[in-house]
Amino acid sequence: MLHHVELYVRDLERSIAFWTPFMRLLGFAEERWSQGVNYVAGEQDPYVTLVQATAEHVAAGYHRRRVGLNHLAFRARSRAHVDEVRAWVAEAGFALLYDDRFPFATAPGYYAVFCEDPDRNKLEVVAPAEPEEQQLNGGPPGDDGGTWHRTFAAEANDRAWTLSEMRDLTTDEEAELLDAAHAAAHHWRRIGSEAQIARANLLLGRVHALLGHGRLAMHFATTAFDSITSRDGAPWEVAFAHAIVANAAAAAGDAAIHAKRYAEARALGEGLAEEERALFLATFDLVPAPGTSADADA
């Protein structure tokens, strides 16, 4: 049985300002000690510890997509309890994750809220399972299938992006990457907004470029690029759009577009905030630099 989880944080007091009220909502009490704080529910229950990271390790930061801990999940008493936690996170001004797909962001019938602490550790609070006949609905009464589409789109999208940031994929992983990207696009096209469909096309451009399918990569990447730039997308989104068109152009053998979009992407990426830039670089670092791209596919 799990005994405890210990997290090192950049700024202990800043983290406590989030963790103490968050954990109190879940029934944990704060216990301070000389080097940190424990959050304890009962003498025999697992507890969470926060410790101040030393100065030489703070700069490295944390990213949940790297090897190591992805997130912590806590049990809620009920769906109403999940709603209470979500309301506090929003009111306190902390980041909610996947909130456009709440409450079934990851699976039909799986009622949960996801958020981030000040160091971007992902936290989940999940309600007890409902009776089987309610779970089979995949959503609330009267749901028209949108819950299923959102759930499958999100799951496939996350898997495809994760695979797309890996190096030296096996043949089976390449096949899974292609399946996941097209599955995400299929579901987003059924119920997604213009922005979600554009991002699905962006992912398809990325995937086909990685697999050397130049013509298809350019089709999806430029479709996404036109949509994102025409509606004044967020800076990180525009940076991604330039990077993926550059990737697609490299696969298609179009040196001029490759060089132009690569330079634009690099310049835009340098202007992003630290956390957004880290996400951007996970993709951009795998885009071949001009002069090094592979030949286009036949």
pLDDT per residue over 4-37, tens digit each? 999 999 999 999 999 999 999 999 999 999 889 9
Q: Residue 298 corresponds to which tokens in the numbers above?
A: 């036949």
Q: Would you mind telling me the total number of residues written for the chain in this entry? A: 298
Burial class (CB in 10 A: 0-12, 13-18, 19+), 51: middle
Q: Helix H segments across 67-168?
A: 79-92, 132-135, 146-164
| Tens of pLDDT, residues 77-132 | 999 999 999 999 999 999 999 988 888 888 777 899 999 999 999 999 999 876 54
How many other C-beta atoms lie within 10 A of the C-beta of residue 186? 14
CA distance 262 to 140: 45
Give the pLDDT score at 26: 93
Spell out the domain ranges in the chain: 4-135, 146-284
Q: What is the pTM of this model?
A: 0.56
Order of strands across the sheet that contains 71-75: 71-75, 122-126, 112-116, 96-97
Instruction: Judge whether residue 183 has pLDDT over 60.
Output: yes
Give the pLDDT score at 132: 47
Class of domain 146-284: mainly alpha
Instruction: Judge whether residue 226 has pLDDT over 60.
Output: yes
Q: How sure is the predictor about 133, in pLDDT bands with cuts at 50, 70 and 90? A: very low
CA distance 160 to 183: 9
CA dihedral defined by 131, 133, 136, 141, rounded to 10 degrees? -100
CB 118 within 8 A of CB 109: no
Residues 6+ apart with CB under 8 A from 119: 7, 9, 10, 15, 61, 62
Q: Which residue has the higher pLDDT, 68 or 30?
A: 30
Provide, rounded to the nearest whole percent, the portion of the chain with pLDDT above 70: 92
Level-2 CATH architecture, domain 4-135:
Roll (3.10)
Instruction: Judge whether residue 298 has pLDDT over 60.
Output: no
Report helix, strand or coil for 169.
coil
CA distance 52 to 61: 13
Give the pLDDT score at 144: 53
Q: How sure is the predictor about 43, in pLDDT bands with cuts at 50, 70 and 90? A: confident
141-151 mean pLDDT: 67
Report helix, strand or coil for 81.
helix
| Tens of pLDDT, residues 243-287 | 999 999 999 999 999 999 999 999 999 999 888 888 899 899 999
Give the pLDDT score at 1: 78
Q: How sure is the predictor about 60, in pLDDT bands with cuts at 50, 70 and 90? A: confident
Q: Which residue has the higher pLDDT, 3 or 215?
A: 215
Q: How sure is the predictor about 165, in pLDDT bands with cuts at 50, 70 and 90? A: confident
Give the pLDDT score at 131: 58
Q: How sure is the predictor about 234, in pLDDT bands with cuts at 50, 70 and 90? A: confident
CA distance 285 to 267: 14
Q: Helix H segments across the chain?
A: 12-25, 55-58, 79-92, 132-135, 146-164, 171-191, 194-210, 214-230, 235-252, 255-270, 274-284
> Of 23-32, 119-128, 166-175, 289-298, where does mean pLDDT reach its minimum?
289-298
Q: How sure is the predictor about 145, in pLDDT bands with cuts at 50, 70 and 90? A: low
